[in-house]
Amino acid sequence: MEKISIISKTAALIVFLAAGSVTKLTAQHHQACEHEHGTEKHQMHRISTVPAGVMGDHVHAKGSMMVSYMYMGMNMSGMNGSSAASHHNLNEYEMVPETMFMQMHMIGLMTSVSDRVTLMGMIPLLDKTMDHAIYGGHHHAAMRSSGLGDIRLTALTPVIQKGDHRVILSGGISIPTGSVSVKSDGMHGVTRMGYGMQHGSGTADLLTGVTWAMDTQKIGVGGQVRSVFRTTDNRMGYRLGNEVEGNVWAGIAANDYTALMLRLQTYWQDAIRGMDPNINAGSISTADPDNYGGTIMRLSGGAAISLEKLTPFRGRLAGEAGIPVHQHSNGMQMAESWMVTGSLQIVL
Ligand SMILES: [Cu+2]
């Protein structure tokens, strides 16, 4: 009788220890994921509430990797009201832009070299089309340019990961892989297209960023400031304006697999300095370097669904759509009407 009791006690102990080690393994697995989504242990199971268009908001634990695809589409139509204050007049140009549609397909790769450093690479493919009116609207024509943009390499490090909060610093470089000499066949023969139709800056640019995010089981809020600093003029004789972008967002996890979010983005770009003598500034307002730079504020809403629910992969599918709530442009510029972003992230 006593023997049976000892055996059953031993069996119970073994079951207890085994259960304990399983729990521990699960906890380790969760902790690994937690780094990937940058949230703490207890929130780890739920989907990230960071909007689809925000990048560099998380780091990866050592040994984990992420591949991503991002789509961005932006539509512009007519001229922006704030451009009226310009010393330029639309009649100065031979052609007037009517609508413009810019698309970007971006392949991303994130991998950690240690728990302190995550590297991120992004390869953009651009496709831009612009419809314009010639000679006061009697004729219309379209221009299109597509190709590789500037490849970006960034290093991210979590400086604070405490409780529900995380702060991530990022620094990187934008490599001038995008063309600055894209041409089109127009009424003056084959000529170089305007600055906005080119694919890159033509310069090696410095990228910096800081992100703060807070996540609880139910909600997530965050803020991010990013900047692009041009180091020199490009070989065509100009430099695009430096950029500063600020984002604040809030999201709610409806359950572990779906989330809804809201974002307010403020983007500022300085004017172009210098000019490319091969771009005919009098041909169209988008070819005049005075018509670049300004501020835009966008309000967007989005949703996300966890891949675990749909596929054998770990990751997230997210989308976001936004409209400008404020636009102030230097010179004569087109007005943005809407913007959409889609993102697919797969964690390996
Ligand atoms: Cu990632």
Q: What is the DSSP string of 88-103?
A: --GGGSSEEEEEEEEE
**65 CA to middle of ligand 1, Å?**
7
**36 CA to middle of ligand 1, Å?**
6
**320 CA to middle of ligand 1, Å?**
18
**137 CA to middle of ligand 1, Å?**
47
Distance of CA 39 to the CA centre of its chain: 20
- DSSP helix/strand/coil, 182: coil
Q: Given this model, what pLDDT does residue 83 score?
A: 65
Cα–Cα distance for residue pair 239/142, rounded to 1 Å: 26
**111 CA to middle of ligand 1, Å?**
8
Tokens of 169: 């610093």
**256 CA to middle of ligand 1, Å?**
18
Kind and range of the H or E run holding 247:
strand 243-253
Q: Tell me the residue type at 234.
A: N
Q: Give the alpha-carbon dihedral of 190, 283, 146, 265, to 10 degrees.
A: 170
Stated length of the chain: 348
Q: Give the alpha-carbon dihedral of 69, 242, 336, 276, to 10 degrees.
A: -100
Cα–Cα distance for residue pair 246/258, rounded to 1 Å: 25
Residues in the chain predicted with pLDDT less than 50, given as ranges, are 1-4, 6-7, 10-43
Q: Given this model, what pLDDT does residue 186 score?
A: 75
Kind and range of the H or E run holding 29:
helix 2-37
Q: Contact at 8 Å (CB) between 179 and 129?
A: no
Q: Given this model, what pLDDT does residue 79 score?
A: 87
Tokens of 295: 């501020």
**306 CA to middle of ligand 1, Å?**
14
**58 CA to middle of ligand 1, Å?**
6
Residue with tokens 């909007």: 51
**244 CA to middle of ligand 1, Å?**
22
Q: What is the pTM of this model?
A: 0.84
How far from 81 is each of 64, 110, 112, 251, CA to CA, in Å? 48, 41, 46, 32
**116 CA to middle of ligand 1, Å?**
14
**60 CA to middle of ligand 1, Å?**
6
Angle, CA of 186, 191 and 196, to the nearest 5°: 95
What is the C-alpha radius of gyration for the chain, rounded to an integer number of angstroms? 25
